[in-house]
Structure 1
């Protein structure tokens, strides 16, 4: 399984890691001092604040583009929104949302992966059916892919089986439904969603085989095994009812029909007692059918409860809350990447490092020091550090600004962020 860009440590932990790396470097070069440690923490604080400000602007842009079609809004609009304006806003938001997910180090779930997931058997033994015709746009993103093993129980817990499956730590879902005209044409009135709306959801701890349960229009269907169990039970019970309860009624009905169609010359006398017997038999048969239908419905209800219970503990956020959460995640990733890249470049002074050498050094450090394999996003880190003038590029090598100068550069940014017109 390929390594991921996601750095599985908190931002504060990474700041502490970088401070330790910097302290070790200073000690090795007989440069260690309390002031140097203080300067590094100041640098980290200013860097985090600057990235936070940039993401605040991005959050406001997302809120503006999402406001025109947000399903959970509790505010009023100054003007009405046309269908064209709504479509345009949805397209703009879709691009910004994809960019945000990329910044948060999410990977898009490919169509092949999604098709494979839908064909696999669910881990919690519920078969779901999804109507893809209801969607105009469907995109899944995931982060934190790993292989896990779980023990499943069969035959009332008497048999156990270990299965290995692909597991996603986080899954983001972006779905746009078709407009109302489509549902009017197929004569269907949606109950759980609004035609033309866009929903965004964030889930945790999702097995790849269970991705279909994240669709908003998924419906529970009986598995072949469940149909066989219910069918066998109904067949056995039906045979018993026919033999023990309906024997006399069936003989009476057969005799009457044979006389009616001329297959029998002897007339059938319908006495009060025979009619009562026939009525009781039909009542028993009707109650049997109702009982079997109720068993079927109850089994389906249990499956739906299993689905809702599963989703209850997997759902992290919905709609506008999702991109608020993702903004925080993307900000954390950018801060960690920028801090790590600057810290390791700083050790090489004016000589600097190439992007490949820096990338390799950071990845090896994580593997040897923290037993963590990852694919460090070096292009993104370099782009941000150069934009903030904390790193310069000299041909193929990158050179970090000295720590004191980097602190001054970040401080000057805040001093001049708002200039009078």
Structure 2
């Protein structure tokens, strides 16, 4: 059995290796918050630009939403034959080859959408580590047989460390080096899975998932007792059985050794107690699993496709707005008194993609306290298609704000419909998901009173 401490070290190493190879690209604030922060940034926009900047942002958002409308429809059409929730009458028969084709192209499109939504696919070694047999609590081990699946993919968005606090009376007597380590969480996880010999593909999304608890989102996890607890129970039962056998033999031989009967009873009670403790731990894990599936499930199957496209729109909008605004604001200070119509694209921007990404990353860190890796290529290509960005001698330039506004659709709707959108703090396990240790202890007291163990 691998010691728990070594397992934790392996998880830490695996996590940090993944973090180095997949730097987070998710910008953890809403569209409206970004607009507000950019408008409040001192000496960034002129007075004239401030008056129309929100209109420009709304027009840019509408253009991006229109772009993704056809993408969502294509995803729905590809998913239709392999949708496990489909409830309409079947009008045609799909043979296995047609279903496989649809599944293949759906996963290809999902890869693209996930990248635009700033999800990253979890590396195979991270998934294998999460699904192999490992300890989830004292005495309880779980595992998932990956060979049961033809399709099993995980994508994650956002990683965060959450501090684990102890009750004050425990913290007083706990050494600093023995204090609980912060827990690592994914903000969002998306799964695509299909069992072997199954014809339907399942898509699921969860929120606030511990990085070492991916098996909880799969339907066929195996729960086992640890080798140590198994050994304790087996030893106790063996001693009890041997004592009973010895007592029977001595009785037949008319010998009086009551101490053997006492030993048998004690070891038998020890075995029952060990088994009861394991069952309680197992029930706690199952209760946590039930709460995760109830409280942490975000969307499934066809509904998830719309959610992912919406996230791709969000991230594309935020990246495009940041790219355009930082290029617009990169100009000599003498130009701040000029009107937009008097500005020339040659005077606006003049940054390479690397310089631009560095400035945006620094600004995001100042605003959110989160280190992100900005990839501007998608946003640059998008703005080029809209005709408001050009590249001259490897330097990026943009149209003045008023000219750029006229190049975009003039019927903004999407962000206006999101006026109630706000930044929120994640719940994680501090509220409804995990019960506190005090609650567990109270439950055990109640169970003892009513004679459950």
- SS of aligned partner of 2:47: coil
| Correspondence for 1:216 among 216, 219, 234 | 219
- Alignment partner, residue 207 of structure 2: 204
Counterparts of 2:61 and 2:301 in 1: how far apart (Å)? Answer: 26
| CA contact 2:360–2:374 (8 Å) conserved in 1 | yes
Q: Does residue 51 of the first structure (1) align with residue 64 of the second (2)?
A: yes
Describe the SS at the equivalent of 1:176.
Answer: strand
User: What is the CA–CA distance in structure 2 between the aligned matches of 1:108 and 1:368, rounded to whole Å?
Assistant: 27
**Distance in 2 (alpha carbons) for counterparts of 1:236 and 1:40:** 80
Q: 2 CA distance for matches of 1:113 and 1:240?
A: 48
1:336 aligns with 2:318: yes
Task: State the partner residue of 1:70.
Answer: 83
Give 1:166 deviation, angstroms: 3.6
Question: Aligned residue for 1:381?
Answer: 379
* Cα 1:313/1:215, change in 2 over 3 Å: same
- Tell me how far 1:291 sits from its aligned partner: 7.5
Aligned mate of 1:318, from 290, 300, 308: 300
* Cα distance change on mapping 1:121 and 1:291 into 2, 3 Å: closer
C-alpha displacement of 1:122: 4.4
TM-score w.r.t. length of structure 2: 0.69
After superposition, the CA RMSD in angstroms is 3.4
CA 347–300 in structure 1, closer or farther in 2 if over 3 Å, else same: closer
TM-score under structure 1 normalisation? 0.74
Tell me the CA shift for residue 300 of structure 1.
4.5
How many residue pairs are counted as aligned between the two chains? Answer: 355
Q: Deviations over 1:221-264 (max 9, x none)?
A: 22223324543554465466556xxx458966x99xxxxxxxxx
After TM superposition, give the deviation of residue 299 of structure 1 in Å.
6.1
Aligned position for 1:14: 34
Q: 1:239 to 1:362 in 2, by over 3 A?
A: same
**1:24 paired to 2:43:** yes
What does the per-residue CA deviation read over 1:194-244, in whole Å, with 9 as the maximum and x for residues that have no partner?
Answer: x2321111122222221222222212122223324543554465466556x
Alignment match, 1:359: 357
Aligned counterpart for 1:400 among listed residues 394, 398, 401: 398
Question: 1:363–1:373: 8 Å Cα contact kept in structure 2?
Answer: yes
Of 131, 137, 155, the match for 2:151: 137
Q: Secondary structure at the match of 2:208?
A: strand
Which ranges in structure 2 are unaligned for 5 or more consecutive residues? 1-18, 255-264, 331-344, 413-453
1:116-138: CA deviations, max 9, x gaps?
Answer: 33458444454212122211121
Query: Which has the greater radius of gyration?
Result: 1
Identify the match of residue 93 of structure 1 among 106, 120, 137. 106
In the TM superposition, what whole-angstrom CA distance separates every residue of 1:50-89 from its partner, at most 9, and x where no partner exists? 1112222211111110010100112223211111111111
